[in-house]
Amino acid sequence: MAAEHDTVDGRKARGQRRRAQIIEATLAIVRRDGATGVTHRTVAKEAGITTSLTLYYFATLDDLLVAALTSVTDEYTHRIRRLIESDDDPVGGLAHLIAESAGVGRERALAERELSTLAARRPALRPAARRWRDNVAELARTQTDDPDAIEAFVALSDGLCAAILLNDDEADPDHIRAVLGRALQPTRPWPVADVSES
């Protein structure tokens, strides 16, 4: 009985490694060629396996793209959860995470951005694409309960990531922290014109 259990566990572990290998190959193609370069055939070639094996683990192209985007958003979710639960300055921690898009995290951020943009055309990707925004909103809620400020904070975080990916310059986490902090400050209402005087 123990030998049979070990065999099942060994198969499961090999299957998990194979899935991870296919996902990493998919992300490599997205980074290099964009999401349009992803097919079962190109992923199989990148991973050094047969196309039928990629189809065994991911029956459709959407399954493959969702798994790739989920692997990136899982990493971001884990890191943002740690900031929320244990960081004295979660906004500063998020600023550092965003700044990584200009350096060590550029390739993953680029893949996430590419796949998230594709979600506008492929509904299957949308739940995974929304996770970054949902997590950033949760972090903002640790600082304010103003829904407008939270929405501005999320949009600003997205915009900063996009701007960093479009530049070749280093990103300054202190500057990003200052900009994000401004989004959380209470806003004064717009003055309403008095139309009765006209």
Query: Whose CA is closest to 177, among 107, 83, 109?
Result: 83
Divide the 198 residues of the chain into consecutive groups of 10 and give the mean pLDDT of each group.
63 90 95 93 97 96 94 91 90 95 88 90 92 95 95 95 89 95 78 59
Query: pLDDT value at position 86?
Result: 84
Residue 10 tokens, joined: 């060994």
Chain Cα centroid distance, residue 132: 5
| CB-count burial class (<10 Å; 0-12, 13-18, 19+) for 158 | middle
Query: pLDDT value at position 4?
Result: 58
Query: pLDDT value at position 11?
Result: 82
Q: Mind giving me the DSSP string for 128-188?
A: HHHHHHHHHHHHHHTT---HHHHHHHHHHHHHHHHHHHH--SPP-HHHHHHHHHHHTS--P
Query: pLDDT value at position 188?
Result: 63
